[in-house]
Chain A
């Protein structure tokens, strides 16, 4: 009895925290930004050679902002922070944020809570592209972008383009057509991937680590090459938040609210796919970020895409930086394993705590 009343009080206290967060989205965004900043410092500091937060801020102040700070840290710390950790952590920020935005977009566009950035074939396309790059005996790299990154990007974009074209020519309703075509094309590409893995020999481990995702290949150049696509794509999606909101009601109702549904669907699908392709080209198939984060954000803010998209970007960034820290501390295990281990139970808890079950 007492325990029951206590847990009720706890529940209502949590509810009121959620309510306050919901009522003040600007404060929520501010708190998330602060959390991201702390996470970045944590991500740069932790690893096989720890660097203290004071040293990190000193190094950044001196080298990024050009402040006259005396170097009280070891020269090696400077190299670790600037050349290894910082590009890696910022890659996690950009990729995690991009995947969460793409996931929120696919979920809204397909009106399907189970959708994620990979649902329409981008993942299988990217994986097959990466696997082909590993299998063929050609090695070239331009600005640190090797065949794996380039082929993964092309594979993801090509897969979604094929799915989109095929789904339009069929007799099915657009959304059903997209999902079923995505499934069919994805299966076909997965067969190709299996074949490539079978043929890969010594390259199998490389293909496998691509499938699980990882940030150990991060570099400033790779970050610089993909960030514009991810950031501009995400901003362009955010500017179409209104269309995503109207689509909550279904495609015909969205049309009645003034949305040119066919055009918006094409544009949003294209943007979310580009963001996804850029993200997976440098980090592999990091799972769960794009599925879990938008749901978590919606639980706090409600379904409005105008809030869900930016807060998902922040949440995805935080989750991937933290997951990468864990992956690093556990001796460079694939980050996709960590996001799955954190994300899946988390998702189950969200589903149980949500006031109503998600309908499928």
Chain B
């Protein structure tokens, strides 16, 4: 089942919406009048060359980067008016694999996904423990329990971090280059997991993806960014045609071999 054949979602407007958003880091513009609407249950790949503004796009969607112009909405509400806890219950961002300061077991790391839900004083309740167990099971990292997360391979760690986001139980999941540094088996495993979370659990998935083949193969919709703007937003077959790949990425499309006819329909 591909994203296109999903039944239409009864939707009171998009889950994620940017209206004419402009953003800058220290007066360097990183997003230039971006408009984007992503409905519940969509699976969207964001592609573009380095410095195109992909990560900034995710940071505006998650409310970490405040737009200098325009509005970012989450489930119809302006995100800058929501408190961080409410945002975290609606939107999970798979963390970057950063260095943990202390030895942390896999289950403890996944348990951090419950921070927005847990009782601030008493900590994890049975419902939290059930969500942690379910997320570990769902992502298939049960064999890693008890291990120090800092000893895992990068591929294993990425799966555990995705399990953390699953435990967060938010309808929207954002990922910034989830397959970077992974071997090909783990890359495919991560991509298939994203497809599965989207199709079986109905999660809205937005991922910055570097590999155009993965964007074409695993996602129903591709947003192409270049120099702080969205230059295409369509099905992969149309968004990533040979001319645009040459224009935006500066490489011959043959080199990338997207295999689009198979993936597109």
Report A's interface with B, CB cutoff 8 A.
107-108, 111-113, 239, 241-242, 245-246, 248-250, 252-253, 255-260, 298-299, 302-304, 306, 354-356, 358-359
Contact A354 B95 (CB under 8 A): no
Query: Assuming the A-B contacts A257-B88, A258-B84, are A250 and B150 also in contact, with contact meaning beta carbons closer than 8 angstroms in the complex?
Result: no
Cβ contact within 8 Å between A258 and B85:
yes
Also in contact, A356 and B151, with CB within 8 A (given A252-B64, A253-B96, A258-B84) = yes
**Within 8 Å CB of B64, what residues of A?**
252, 255-256
Q: A242 to B98, alpha carbons, bound, how many Å?
A: 19
Chain B residues close to A by CB (< 8 Å) = 62, 64, 83-89, 91-93, 95-96, 98-105, 108, 112-113, 115-116, 118, 120-121, 123, 148, 150-151, 168
User: A304 to B108, Cβ gap below 8 A?
Assistant: yes
Q: In the bound complex, do residue B103 and residue A249 qualify as a contact, i.e. CB atoms below 8 Å apart?
A: no
Which of A242, A257, A302 is packed against the most chain B CB atoms within 10 Å? A257
Q: Chain B residue with minimal CB distance to A263? A: B84
In whole angstroms, how far apart are the Cα atoms of A255 and B112 in the complex? Answer: 12
- B115 CB contacts on chain A under 8 angstroms: 242, 245-246, 257-259
With A249-B95, A256-B92 known as contacts, the answer to whether A107 contacts B120 (CB < 8 A) is no
Q: Which of A253, A255, A256, A303 contacts B102 (CB 8 A)?
A: A303
A239-B120, A256-B93, A258-B89 known; 4 new pairs, CB 8 Å cut-off, are A249-B112, A253-B95, A258-B87, A356-B151
B-side contacts of A250, CB under 8 Å = 95-96, 98
Min C-beta distance of A190 to chain B, whole Å = 26
Q: In the assembly, what is the distance between CA of A336 and CA of B220, in Å?
A: 64
A contact residues around B89 at 8 Å (CB): 258
Once the chains bind, are A113 and B95 in contact (CB under 8 Å)? no
Which 3 pairs between the two chains have the least Cβ-Cβ distance? A258-B88, A258-B116, A253-B95
How far is the CB of A11 from the nearest CB of chain B, in Å?
16
Q: Which of A249, A354, A358 contacts B98 (CB 8 A)?
A: A249
- B84, B103, B105: residue with the most chain A Cβ atoms closer than 10 Å: B103
A to B CB contacts below 8 Å, 25 in the list: A113-B101, A239-B121, A241-B123, A245-B112, A248-B112, A249-B95, A256-B88, A256-B92, A257-B88, A257-B112, A257-B115, A258-B86, A260-B83, A298-B103, A299-B103, A302-B104, A303-B104, A304-B108, A354-B103, A355-B148, A356-B103, A356-B151, A358-B102, A359-B100, A359-B101
The interface residues of chain B lying within 8 Å CB-to-CB of A355 are 103, 148, 151
Could you say which residues of chain B place their CB within 8 Å of the CB of A249? 95, 98, 100, 112
Task: Name the residue on B nearest A258 (C-beta).
Answer: B88
Known A-B contacts A245-B115, A355-B148; the reply to A303 vs B103 at CB < 8 A is yes
By the criterion CB–CB under 8 Å, are A260 and B101 in contact? Answer: no
Rounded to whole Å, the gap between the CB of B64 and the closest CB of chain A is 6
In the complex, the answer to whether A302 meets B62 with C-beta atoms within 8 Å is: no
Which among B101, B118, B151 is the interface contact of A242 at CB below 8 angstroms?
A: B118
Question: A299–B123 Cα gap in the complex (Å)?
Answer: 20
**What A residues does B100 contact at CB under 8 A?**
248-249, 303, 359
| Contact (Cβ within 8 A) B148 A356 | yes
- In the complex, residue of chain A having the shortest beta-carbon distance to the beta carbon of B93: A256
Known: A246-B112, A355-B148. A256 touches B104 (CB 8 A): no
Nearest CB on B from A142, distance (A): 37
Smallest Cβ distance from B26 to chain A, in angstroms? 9
Contacts of A245 in B (CB 8 A): 112, 115
Closest-by-CB residue of B relative to A240 is: B120
- Chain A residues near B86 (CB, 8 Å)? 258
**Chain B contacts for A246, CB-based, 8 A:** 112, 115
Contacts of B91 in A (CB 8 A): 256
A356: B residues at CB distance < 8 A = 103, 148, 150-151
* Bound complex: CA A258 to CA B90 (Å): 10
